[in-house]
Amino acid sequence: MFAFAVGDSLVALDAVKIDTTDQARILRGGQHFQQTCLSCHSLVDFVNDPVAKELGLSKEQMPVWPEDSWNGHPPPDLSLIALSMSPDWLFTYLRTYYVDKARPTGYNNLVYPNTNMPNPFVDMQGHQVLINPNYFDKNHAHGEQFWYRVIKLKETGRLSPAEFDDYVDDIVQFLTYVSDPSVHARRQIGPWVLGYLTLFIMVTYAYFRLVGKDYFQSPKSPPPH
C-alpha cells in the first residue's frame, strides 16, 4: 500500500494490511480506542454511525479541548486521521515511542518527533530505548531506516510484543473504518454496478459488431431533406 502523505517521519513506515470486512476486529479496535484514546481524542463525525452505536459511543463522551490547552497543541479529533495521514503512518507512529528525558512527557517519537502526545501505552508495551543515538546527527534522508534499527524494547509491559502489535493493529483498523465508513456500502454495491455495466458493454458491443459492421460496409446516406 502506498500513499503520498507522510509527515516528517525519521524512519521508514511499516506496512499494515487493512481488512475492512473484518467487522469483529473493527469493533475490537473500537473498544481499545474507548479504553486508551477516548479520554483525550474525540471522533465527532463518527457518532451517528451504526458501529459507533454498537460501541455505545456518544457525543457526550467526546472530550472538547480549548484551543490554548496543552500548550496550544490539544489532542485533535481523529475522525479523518487515517485519510489525512495513512494507516501505515498510524501503525508506525503508535509503536515508536522511546524514552527521552529531555521531553516533558518523558517520551519522544520517531515518526512524529517531539510530539506532545504522552505515550499512551507505557503499561502495555513497556519502554523502548534508543540504541542508535547517532542516528539523528547524521541528518539522514527522512524515513531511510526502519525503526528497529534505531530503538529497542528494553522492558516488556503487560502485553508481549506480538500481542501489542495486534492491539495497535486493531486500533488502526478501527480508525481506518472511521475515516470512511462508506467502505461497507461500496463493497456491497460495487459488484452489482460493475456487473451490470459489464453486461451492458457486452450487449452493446455485440450489437455493434453484428449490426453496426454491416452498416459501415454499405453505408446509406440519409434521404435528402
Partner 1 sequence: MFISLLITGFAIFVVLNVLPYFKGVGAWIDRRLPIFSFLLDHLSYYPAPKNLNIWYAFGALAMVACAIQFISGIWLVMYYTPTAEQAFSSVQLIMREVPYGWLVRYVHSTGVSLWFVVVYFHIFRGLMYGSYKTPRELLWMSGVVLLFLLMAEAYTGYVLPWGQMSFWASKVIISLFSSIPVVGNDIVVWLQGDYEVSGVTLHRFFAFHVVGFSFLILAMIFLHIIMLHSVGSNNPDGVDIMKHKDRNGWPLDAVPYYPYFVMKYIPIILLYLFVFFVIVFYAPTFFGLFLEAENFERANPLVTPLHIKPSWYLSPYYAILRSIPDKSLGALMMLMSIVLWLFLPWLDLSPVRSMRYRGWMSRTALITVVGSFVLLGYLGLQPAVGWYLVMSRVATLLYFSFFLLIPILSYYDQDYVVPDRIPER
List of residues contacting ligand HEC (CB under 6 A):
36-37, 39-41, 70, 73, 75-76, 78, 81, 90, 93-94, 115-118, 120, 171
Closest CA to 108 of 83, 133, 91, 89: 133
In angstroms, give the least distance from the CB of 201 to partner 1. Answer: 5
- For residue 23, give the amino acid letter: Q
Contact 146, 12 (CB under 8 A): yes
Shortest distance in whole angstroms from residue 82 CB to ligand HEC: 9
Place of cell 469493533: 27
Asked if residue 37 lies in contact with residue 171, where contact means CB atoms within 8 angstroms, the answer is yes
Closest to ligand HEC by CB, 91 vs 135, is 91
Chosen from partner 1, ligand HEC, none, partner binding at 122 (C-beta under 5 to 8 Å by type): none
Nearest to ligand HEC of 72, 223 (CB atom)? 72
* Residue 145, helix vs strand vs coil: strand
Among partner 1, ligand HEC, none, partner that 40 touches (CB below 5 to 8 angstroms by kind): ligand HEC
CB of 191 to ligand HEC, least distance (A): 33
Toward ligand HEC, which CB reaches closer, 132 or 160? 160
- The binder of 41, among partner 1, ligand HEC, none, by C-beta within 5 to 8 A per type, is ligand HEC
CB 29 within 8 A of CB 172: yes
Distance in Å, CB of 145 to partner 1, minimum: 20
Residue 88, number of CB atoms within 10 A of its CB:
23
| Least gap, CB of 124 to ligand HEC (angstroms) | 10
Residues written for the chain: 225
- Closest CB 190 distance from partner 1, rounded Å: 4
Q: Are 42 and 116 in contact (CB under 8 A)?
A: no
CA distance 21 to 4: 24
Buried b (16+ CB within 10 A) or exposed e, 132-171: eeebeeeeeeebebebeebbeeeeebebeeeebbebbbbb
The rounded distance, in Å, linking the Cα atoms of 55 and 34 is 9
Catalog residues that contact partner 1 under the rule CB under 8 A: 2-5, 7-8, 45-46, 48-49, 79-80, 83-86, 179-182, 185-187, 189-190, 193-194, 197-198, 200-201, 204-205, 207-208, 211-212, 215-216, 219, 221-222, 224-225
